[in-house]
A = this chain, B = another copy of it.
Amino acid sequence: MSVYLFAKELIRNSGAFIRNRMEESFQVESKSNPNDLVTTVDLETEQYIRAKIKEIYPEHNIVGEEYEADIVDSKSGYLWIIDPIDGTLNFVHQRENFAISIGIYKDGEPYAGLILDVMKDKLVSAEVGKGAFVNDEKLETVKTSHLSDSLVGISHKWLIREDIKAPLIEIVKECRSPRSLGSAALEYAQLIEGRIEAAMFFRLSPWDFSGGKIIGNEVGIITTDFLGRQNNWLEQTSVLATNAVLQKEITDIIKKDDGFILAHDTFHNIHKSDL
């Protein structure tokens, strides 16, 4: 069995693990704080995933949201980047619209990505070079689009932050309609399936977008930071994910705003000498 097929089986089983755990917990602990519940299930699920990987592949490295990372040599062997529950507020409030996200690198290169909508048991995944799939159905390359014809996923919270809001407000004004689902991984899944045309996140951690970035690349979704630069996939970063035409339109709006660029690069601790 390839590592990719193993990962597909693992993410489905991890989804079942969460669904079972929720059923027990929402019964037993209905009076307790739901924030404790999500913390517990988050930790248990990452533990479950880590144990299953290490059982079969003890030499693989793992970076997750909830536990200290393995000391990573990112250039050799397999590296798993996992988020056991992406969309924790949806988990607590909605009991749906959250995901498990997995990105896998091999010898420093993207190898595979997987995003499972846990409550729908719907898997979007790709092995690099072999196309992206929703469950077992192959997905087509996404259509290019212009801002005026595009649904754009973006959190309201960035629109009201003084030092960065100007170009984001322009994008929201010019786009066909903005959306906010509350899970970066599921917004990536929507992009990959052609249900929204762009998604923008001012700050994500590697486990939030590694899976989506790898899968998206198979269907023409380009991932960069807000200024169109390639992200370091092991650091926090801004993330713009969209088709090639819209990527240029959005970064053109952003790059003409020097105040935004300064605030962005200061926030993300990016120095000109690094670029």
- If the complex has contacts A94-B196, A179-B180, are A173 and B190 also in contact, measured as CB distance less than 8 A? no
Interface string of A141-168 (1 = CB under 8 A from B): 0000000000100111101100000000
CB distance from A102 to the nearest CB of B (A): 24
Give how many A residues have a beta carbon under 8 Å from the other chain's beta carbons. Answer: 26
Q: Are B196 and A178 in contact (CB under 8 A)?
A: no
Closest Cβ of chain B to A178, distance in Å, is 4
Q: Decide yes or no whether A75 CB sits under 8 A from chain B.
A: no
Q: Tell me the minimal C-beta distance from A64 to chain B in angstroms.
A: 23
Distance in angstroms between the alpha carbons of A191 and B154 in the assembled complex: 22
Q: With both chains docked as a complex, state the minimum distance between the C-beta of A180 and any C-beta of chain B, in angstroms.
A: 5
A195-237 interface bits toward B, Cβ cutoff 8 Å, 1 = contact, 0 = none: 1110000000000000000000000000000000000000000
In Å, the complex CA distance between A173 and B158 comes to 10
Q: Which residues of B contact A93 (CB under 8 A)?
A: 151, 176, 195-197
Q: Which of A154, A159, A178, A180 has the most CB of B within 10 A?
A: A180
CB within 8 A of A172: which of B156, B173, B179, B196?
B156
Nearest CB of chain B from residue A194's CB, rounded to whole Å: 8
